[in-house]
Structure 1
Amino acid sequence: MIAAYEFALPVDVMLAVAEQEGGAIGQWKKNRNGTYDIGVMQFNTQYLKELSRFGVSAADVSGPGCYPYRLAAWRIRRHISLDDGDVWERIANYHSRTPALNMKYRVAIMSRSAKWAQRLIGMGIF
């Protein structure tokens, strides 16, 4: 995935997050806190407030193509660079900073990442 390379993320991690999120083009999923997770990468609308000053809209995140993956990779890179905790906790902050939700997501991402790494090795990519 080009987005992983662009933001210096391991490809297996980016694929694991994409698989875990399991969103779809145009999908809007309402969260308990009133925000929405949208598009293929289930990008949370709370981040759109910050990004709107750069012209990024909900349509950009919910639409087809590579842009939703680039935005997700940007966000994961920011979590890795700016947040506290080990790298897996920082990656899981993409989903939630709530400790129990973060831990559940972290375990899932670690497992999926290991599977993706094996697939990529088998394909001679990794």
Structure 2
Amino acid sequence: MALSALFAGSIAEAQAAQAVSLSPATIQSCILAAANLHREPPALLLILLNVEGGTLGAVSQNTNGTVDIGPMQVNQIWVPMVATHWHASKDATYHALRDNFCANLEAGSWILRQGLDEAHGDLWGGVAFYHSHNPVYQQQYMLSVLKQALRLEALPRKKTSARLSALNAPAGPPKQRG
């Protein structure tokens, strides 16, 4: 139920961030499929999508000369390994990462799984490895992940609070009958 609230509060944001319109049901389905396939919490994938802030069809230049691809900002250094994982060519993999939301999410989830395995199942260690192996970059990323998790957690409460305030607000002056 809490996951549904997270999806409801954040799918519109994830959808708006996409160059090509995706339905909330498609986004949710892709997240759940990737999470199930790689044994990860779906809410974590949603958080990472929001932290990464990439968009479908986008390729973002990094200061180190590499590029990040698509919604999960999959770094180009992963293309050969993802291509092997998918049994696909590097070119087809690059285009799928750039242009296919579910493919990009599956690849990001697979990369996260590599980090989780490297961290021997430690969730936070795996998330840190998803971003970098540099401790300074890891710390900055983990702070972003924490802030995003807290922001997303607060969304259902804010909506509920607003609804309750509206219900409890005075209805205005009584109507006079005349």
Fold shared by both chains (TM-score > 0.5): yes
Equivalent residue, structure 2, for 1:20: 51
Greater length-normalized contact order (CA 8 Å, ≥ 6 residues apart): 1
Describe the SS at the equivalent of 2:132.
coil
Unpaired runs of 5+ residues, structure 1, are: none
Please give the TM-score of this superposition, normalised by the length of structure 1: 0.82
Indicate if the aligned counterparts of 2:128 and 2:138 stay in contact, CA closer than 8 A: yes
Distance 1:83 1:32 in 2: 27
Task: State the number of aligned residues.
Answer: 123
Among candidates 37, 43, 48, match of residue 74 of structure 2:
43
Indicate if the aligned counterparts of 1:26 and 1:62 stay in contact, CA closer than 8 A: yes
Equivalent residue, structure 2, for 1:67: 103
Equivalent residue, structure 2, for 1:31: 62
Change (3 A) 1:25 1:69: same
What amino acid is aligned across from residue 8 of structure 1 in structure 2?
R
Equivalent residue, structure 2, for 1:78: 114
Q: Are residues 1:103 and 2:150 paired? A: no
Distance 2:156 2:41 in 1: 11
What amino acid is aligned across from residue 65 of structure 2 in structure 1?
G
Q: Are residues 1:5 and 2:36 paired? A: yes
Indicate if the aligned counterparts of 2:71 and 2:101 stay in contact, CA closer than 8 A: no
User: How far does the alpha carbon of each residue in 1:35-65 deviate from its partner, in whole angstroms, 9 at most, with x for none?
Assistant: 1101111100001122333215210101133
What amino acid is aligned across from residue 80 of structure 1 in structure 2?
L
Indicate if the aligned counterparts of 1:39 and 1:61 stay in contact, CA closer than 8 A: yes
Equivalent residue, structure 1, for 2:124: 88
User: How far does the alpha carbon of each residue in 1:39-96 deviate from its partner, in whole angstroms, 9 at most, with x for none?
Assistant: 1111000011223332152101011331111111111011101236942132122221
66-75 or 46-55, which deviates more: 46-55
Structure with the largest fraction of helix: 2
Distance 2:106 2:157 in 1: 23
Distance 1:36 1:87 in 2: 26
Please give the TM-score of this superposition, normalised by the length of structure 2: 0.60
What amino acid is aligned across from residue 44 of structure 1 in structure 2?
N
**Percent pairwise identity:** 25
